[in-house]
Amino acid sequence: MHEVVIISGKGGAGKTSITGAFANLADNAILCDLDVDAPDLHLLLSPEHKRIEEFYSGNEAIINQEQCTKCGLCEAMCRFSAITQTDEGFAVDPMRCEGCNVCVSFCPPQAISFPSKHCGTWYESETRFGTMVHAQLFPGEENSGRLVTLLKQHARKRAEEEGHELVLSDGAPGIGCPVISSLAGTNLAVVVTEPTLSGLHDLKRVAKLCTGFKTKVAVLINKHDLNLAQAKAIEEYCQEKGYPVICRFPHDNAVTEAMVQGKAINETGDSTASQLLEAAWSNMLNLLHDSK
């Protein structure tokens, strides 16, 4: 089985639109949205939930006012400035609490409870392109890396059960926790980039991260014709690093129009876009098979 994740470093480069188009081309894949913080793939794939599971991760400190002796040790020991004195006594700010257990462990009268935290929901769904595994972290929550790992494990399991050869995932932006979790065990990262100064800057950082994880990198330049000089700079960088460029996709309002209609780019009858994406898909499959 292979695992491919579409990432970009930067948000808004077109990861989800590309993933949607690839999902349309994949006839033997489990689909997965690993951007648990701001998932968008469901807007293109209109999934029908078959399984809904709550996601619990970590714990949250809560001070019981009746037991609290107001000694202030919790506030002094909290490294996250999550505990403050209010009119009603000491209180934990859930937005700042990391669930580290320090205040709970050191509280002399044991006045702090530590319930587990409901952080989000994950789903297994049916879409017109096959099974999709996805989630929504509650706004403001953390532990997205753990949720990403959980989704990947579930997607892998479904792929094995259903005899699929590929797990195709839409990744998260950035290079932090969720992306690191996305890359673990992944065979190929398709980095969607744009011909802009920031596009090249972000590509370099995320590609370095992939290399650190020994994940093979392929590059898709979106909005290729927006700035040909910047596109050339990206091509030169890719050549120097040995990253194959699998597609040069033009700046095209059809991408936004497809999004508004809730369709993949290659479902809207634009034959040039479809041909480019088919070529990208086949280039990507070749890279996958070569890597084995």
Partner 1 sequence: MIYAIASGKGGTGKTTVTASLASIWETPLTAVDLDVEEPNLHLFLKPEEMITGKAHIEVPDADEDKCTGCRACSELCQFKAITVMGDTLLTFPEMCHGCGGCIAICPEKALTPGKRELGEIVTGKSHGNEFIMGRLRIGEAMSPPLMKQILNDLPINSQGDVLIDAPPGVSCPAITAVMRADCIVLVTEPTPFGLHDFRLAWEAFSPIGKPMGAVINRAGVGNNDVYDFCREKDIPIWAEIPFDRSVAEAYSNGYVPVKAIPTLKPTFESLKNSMQKAVNEVSHA
Q: How far is the CB of 182 from partner 1 (least distance, A)?
A: 12
Of 153, 208, 272, 286, which lies in the binding site for partner 1, with binding defined by CB under 8 A?
208
Give the per-residue contact string, 157-196, with partner 1 (x = CB under 8 A; - = no).
---------------xxxxxx--x-------------xxx
Of 118, 201, 269, 291, which lies in the binding site for partner 1, with binding defined by CB under 8 A?
201
Q: How many angstroms separate the Cα of 156 from the Cα of each of 19, 38, 53, 99, 211? A: 18, 22, 17, 30, 23
**Should residue 47 be labelled a site residue for partner 1 when binding is judged by CB under 8 A?**
no
What tokens appear for 259 in the block? 């999004």
CA distance 87 to 207: 50
**Should residue 98 be labelled a site residue for partner 1 when binding is judged by CB under 8 A?**
yes
Q: How far is the CB of 191 from partner 1 (least distance, A)?
A: 12
Query: Which residue, 52 or 184, is less far from partner 1 as judged by CB?
Result: 184
**Should residue 76 be labelled a site residue for partner 1 when binding is judged by CB under 8 A?**
no
Given the rule CB under 8 A, which of 83-91, 139-147, 266-274, 278-286 is the region that contacts partner 1? 139-147
CA distance 278 to 39: 24
Given the rule CB under 8 A, which of 22-30, 148-156, 254-262, 282-290 is the region that contacts partner 1? 254-262
**Should residue 260 be labelled a site residue for partner 1 when binding is judged by CB under 8 A?**
yes
**Should residue 230 be labelled a site residue for partner 1 when binding is judged by CB under 8 A?**
yes
Binding site for partner 1 (CB under 8 A): 9-13, 16, 37-38, 40, 43, 58-59, 77, 79-80, 95-96, 98-102, 105-106, 137, 139-142, 144-145, 172-177, 180, 194-199, 201-202, 205-206, 208-209, 212, 223, 226-227, 230, 251, 253, 256, 259-260, 262
